[in-house]
Structure 1
């Protein structure tokens, strides 16, 4: 009888020890203030290519990191991009882009993960395929966005990637200039670089 009790106690200790390690492995991160943080939207027009970018946005994520500093799971990730912080250096282009993106009503572009699959590229950089909800100008679509993440020595995580977007899918009319002589293309690209720091 005593042997059975000892075995049961030992089994419970192993189970709870494993659960504790799982909890400890899960860490919460947020996008801090870093010069490497950047989000930009770029596209084409009848005259020239254009780019709008910003370093002002917020986001958070929950990663599982192993004792070997490997990303084993991405439980959650989201970001909020205030559209009015995007700047091209051309006031007319910015003004027309804000109007097209309906910033009087919808202030942010947002993304929230639903699921994710971690695929290692090598011992330190990871390709993470995320599925989630991208909202632009009040319209939400199911999308798959690829992240490429690197675990830094200080425990922070660098992530970058890009995603192609057709503005018409989000009911955004491509901006026009000069009475319609200059028109931007429907296809744009969202590019980003994040530095996640433990929160």
Structure 2
């Protein structure tokens, strides 16, 4: 009789755990990046002009603990191919790919570790990998739920090339020098899977 009660208790415990895990999994909502509606640009300056490169290929996903709860962002990741960075100058593209060591490290990745509200603003803790070098950075983001249940993530990430052991590109025997600091401006749209 005691053994039968123990078996029933164990069965009940397993059922409760299973239902709890199932509810937890249901609560999480995954979103995929909509590349067609998203945009990102890398912007900087040089000794003669400002410059901009469009990020032509983006991939990524984010997971929220609760659907539509923008403060419940649990994780996210984004990546692009280095050679999808394009300007209207072929020489600049070539110099950029060389500086970013695209043959050895063809991907740029960003992992979102956490998002916290700080003084009414959302701050994302990110792990950014460029040219094989990884750095932890923070970025203030704007995260909105759109009418079609999609999510909009916007921000401007300030980076220094030398933090990733990237030598700022030069041209014309060093007469044109790119500044170390760049800004990555992004507006990403995510749709529920």
User: Same fold per TM (> 0.5)?
Assistant: yes
Uncovered stretches (5+) of structure 1, i.e. residues with no partner:
1-11, 122-126
- Compared CA separation, residues 65 and 152, structure 1 to 2 (3 A): farther
- Structure 1 Cα separation of the partners of residues 21 and 119 of structure 2: 24
Deviation at 1:57, TM superposition (A): 1.0
Aligned ranges 1:1-199 → 2 under 5 Å: 23-35=25-37, 37-65=38-66, 69-118=68-117, 127-199=121-193
Residue number in structure 2 paired with 1:7: none
- Compared CA separation, residues 63 and 119, structure 1 to 2 (3 A): farther
How big is the alpha-carbon RMSD for the aligned residues of Structure 1 and Structure 2? 2.5
Q: How many residues align?
A: 180
- Structure 1 Cα separation of the partners of residues 71 and 180 of structure 2: 37
Q: Could you state the TM-score of these two structures normalised by the residue count of structure 2?
A: 0.83
CA deviations over 1:41-95 (Å, ceiling 9, x no partner): 11000000000012311001001336xx442411101100111011111000111
CA deviations over 1:113-160 (Å, ceiling 9, x no partner): 222214696xxxxx4321121101000011112221110121110111
Contact 1:64 1:71 in 2 (8 A): no
Deviation at 1:28, TM superposition (A): 0.4
Q: Could you state the TM-score of these two structures normalised by the residue count of structure 1?
A: 0.81
Uncovered stretches (5+) of structure 2, i.e. residues with no partner:
1-12
Residue number in structure 1 paired with 2:10: none
